[in-house]
Amino acid sequence: MARGPFTGAPSADEGAFERLKSSIDPKWIEDALDATGTASLRKRRLPAEQVIWLVLGMALYRHRPIDELVGRLDLVLPGTGPVNVARGGVAQARARLGDEPMKWLFEKCARKWGHESARRHAWRGLALYGVDGTTARVPDSKENRKHFGSQDAGMGRGISGYPLTRIVTLMALRSHILAGARFGPYDDERHYAAELWPHLPSDSLAIVDRMFLSAGLLIGLRREGHNRHWLTRATSRTHWTVSEKLGRGDALVEIEVNRSARAIDPFLPHKWLVRAIAYQRRGFRPQTLLTSLLDADAYPAKEI
């Protein structure tokens, strides 16, 4: 990690903000304020546009105190000179801004950068994406415990030291640029993943881990758009019957959809047709890939 622009503390390199600034059209920031009803915050000592740039700078140089960043506005606020703002005014300005403009700006950048990257690294005409989940700690407060819940710390140690939020992201597979994100209470990742499917474009392939192998989730991915596909590994508990052999270690198979899933979604079929591709890497155990890429000519097993 490079050293920060102020002291020896680890941070983003000194050119990181300039690269970020050059990638964001200033009109997007204006649009973010207009679209979220926060344009009225512009005529202040620290206008809303500058607060947005400051928050972006805080994310890059997060080891630096806020007032120190404001003291170096030539680094974090494009096109401005020194501004004298009381230390407490920065936090107040950020609170007035709220999170809606930042959310709008993130989604705009995600749509632009993430989808362009996924399309640039397309495979056989399919833009490539990955979907996965993680967790993050949030401050320990009564409000956060109520909203996010308290998780078991394990080993009989009671609840976790901090509430955890579940985060699920849709990313361009090669670059890991986010094309979408959902987060909230510590819940099943698949619930948040389903909210991301509308962000998947037509002619795309989403690679997910084995926990996402669910008819309700993956059939739902296929319902919208055109030619949207998924790929995952089978679990040791996955059972199927062979419907048609396509080649060595390559077959169309049927998986029964359990009753509980069909009770939730009555439009699910009783049986689910997918493709199973067996493979083995030297030194590793045999694995089976399951996918909606049923056409063996268009999507050869060896490439998959």
| Residue spans per domain, the chain | 16-98
Q: What is the pLDDT of residues 59-102, one digit of tens each?
A: 888 887 776 776 665 544 545 555 555 556 777 888 888 889 99
Is the pLDDT at 152 greater than 90? The verdict is no
> Residue holding tokens 């997007």?
28
The answer to whether the beta carbons of residues 163 and 149 sit under 8 Å apart is yes
Q: What is the pLDDT of residues 271-292, one digit of tens each?
A: 999 999 999 999 999 999 999 9
Integer CA distances (angstroms), 247 to 109, 205, 206, 287, 297, in order? 43, 22, 24, 16, 11
Residue 298, token pair as written in the block: 């268009």
* Residue 146 burial (C-beta neighbours within 10 Å; 0-12, 13-18, 19+): exposed
- Greater model confidence, 38 or 201: 201
The answer to whether the beta carbons of residues 228 and 142 sit under 8 Å apart is no
> Residue 201: pLDDT band by 50, 70, 90 thresholds?
very high
Integer CA distances (angstroms), 289 to 58, 125, 157, 203, 250, in order? 42, 20, 38, 20, 10
Greatest mean pLDDT among 44-48, 85-89, 96-100, 141-145: 141-145
* Residue 295 burial (C-beta neighbours within 10 Å; 0-12, 13-18, 19+): exposed
Pick from 232, 169, 237: nearest CA to 205: 232
- Cα separation of 19 and 104, whole Å? 20
Give me the residues paired with residue 62 across strands: none
Q: What is the pLDDT of residues 220-233, one digit of tens each?
A: 999 888 999 999 99
> Residue 3: pLDDT band by 50, 70, 90 thresholds?
very low
The answer to whether the beta carbons of residues 127 and 119 sit under 8 Å apart is yes
Integer CA distances (angstroms), 152 to 25, 137, 155, 159, 160, in order? 44, 14, 9, 5, 6
Helix (H, G, I), strand (E, B) or coil at 67: helix
The answer to whether the beta carbons of residues 174 and 121 sit under 8 Å apart is yes
**Mean pLDDT of all residues in the chain?**
86
Core vs surface per residue 38-58: b (16+ CB within 10 A) or e: bbebeeeebbbbbbbbbbbbb
This prediction's pTM: 0.83
Region 122-128: mean pLDDT is 97
